[in-house]
Amino acid sequence: MAASTTITLLRCGGLSCFPEAVAQQFEEPECRALATLGAKLQGAERTEDRWGTIRHGMKLVAVILLLLPLSWTAYAQVVTPVEGESWLEHLHRPFDETSMGKSSGVYGPAAPMPGDWPLPHPGLKLSNKFTGQSTKLSGSDLYRMKCQGCHGESGTGAPPEINSVLDPVRATSAKMYIERMKKVGMDVTMKDAAHLAKQAEGTLLVRLHTGGTDMPSPNPYLTDAEVRSLFAYLRQLAGIPGAEKQQVPIVEPPLRVGEHIVKSTCHICHASVGHNPNSQELMEGQIPPLDSLTSRLSVNEFITKVTVGAPVLEGSPAIPVRGHMPAFTYLAPDEAADVYLYLSLYPPRK
């Protein structure tokens, strides 16, 4: 996109002309989807109180800054749509028989009284840095996006369904292995311990690359730098001295962040495509597919639902209830917006 186009958009008088202006400049399908997202952001703005055009203008600039870099960076990044059945469907395991379905997560606010429904639309809570620029992630960030949904913040999991990651990681430390053997009355030389620790590290790295019988592969597949950084954080969780200094900073664009979260967290429960359940079917436990989320929810509704939780309409007649989906409070609003952006630009496939 030419610089003159950027100036034209920045001079655009109001939000109402923003999506049309963008659509006229973008030709590729992915870029036309940006205009659609801009329209949804516009709709979110109109639900808030109108205390002046300055506020709208500032947020318009923020949206433009989000969309423009994506017009030329989206193609350079290897990003693919999410596809296929959910991991729970793959395991033939109903949601209500999982630790998450048994209320082990953090849930949103209680449902309002029917007379108070619908609730006011929540306001966008994006940071000033949400401009579509790449983000520097650490191993702890990769863990949040790819592992924490199942293994928890501390890595202990939810036994017996989900194993702890701590003992397999501790086995990669020769010093820790020697100390553990001493506690059971066995002496192990450093040479033997180092050999065993190296084997354990190799096994764990393969698991991080390929997954396991009950653990999905880390789709999208991790780069070597991502694996090193994530592995260093796992060692930090396991209490291995010096591990906090081994994390490698990774620069990721917004679409890659969204892809990480969708494929490693959302896709555990949500199939990529499928029937969009009604309120009665939601009460019966059906889970909306990923391809329906951006049509069911506006941007700000989606961010609120993901990060702090929100009631949903269930049953017949439909009434507001707390809902079954936990709130992912460890995800930032910017990261939830990256999820919405990814699902909008890369629609899920069967």
Helices and strands: H and E segment counts in the chain? 17, 4
Distance CA 228, CA 151 (A): 19
- Do the Cβ atoms of 225 and 306 come closer than 8 Å? no
Q: At what angle do helices 139-146 and 224-237 cross, to 10 degrees?
A: 90
Distance CA 43, CA 230 (A): 38
Distance CA 282, CA 96 (A): 13
Domains and CATH numbers, the chain: 3-73 (no CATH), 82-126+253-350 (1.10.760.10)
Distance CA 36, CA 141 (A): 29
Distance CA 239, CA 245 (A): 13
Counted residue by residue, the chain has a size of 350
pTM for this one?
A: 0.78
Q: Which residues pair with 252 in a beta bridge?
A: 135
Tens digit of pLDDT at every position of the chain (350 positions): 333 222 222 222 233 333 333 333 333 444 445 555 555 554 544 444 444 333 434 443 444 444 444 433 433 458 999 999 999 999 888 888 887 776 656 777 778 877 777 777 666 767 766 656 788 999 999 999 999 988 999 999 888 788 899 999 999 999 999 999 999 999 999 999 999 999 999 999 998 888 888 888 888 888 889 999 999 999 999 999 888 888 889 999 999 999 999 999 999 999 999 999 999 999 998 999 999 999 988 898 999 999 988 888 899 988 888 878 889 999 999 999 999 999 999 999 99
pLDDT of residue 12: 29
Q: Which amino acid is at 331?
A: L
- Do the Cβ atoms of 154 and 147 come closer than 8 Å? no
Own/partner long-range contacts of 2-10 (Cβ < 8 Å, ≥24 apart) = 6/64, 6/68, 9/64, 10/61, 10/64
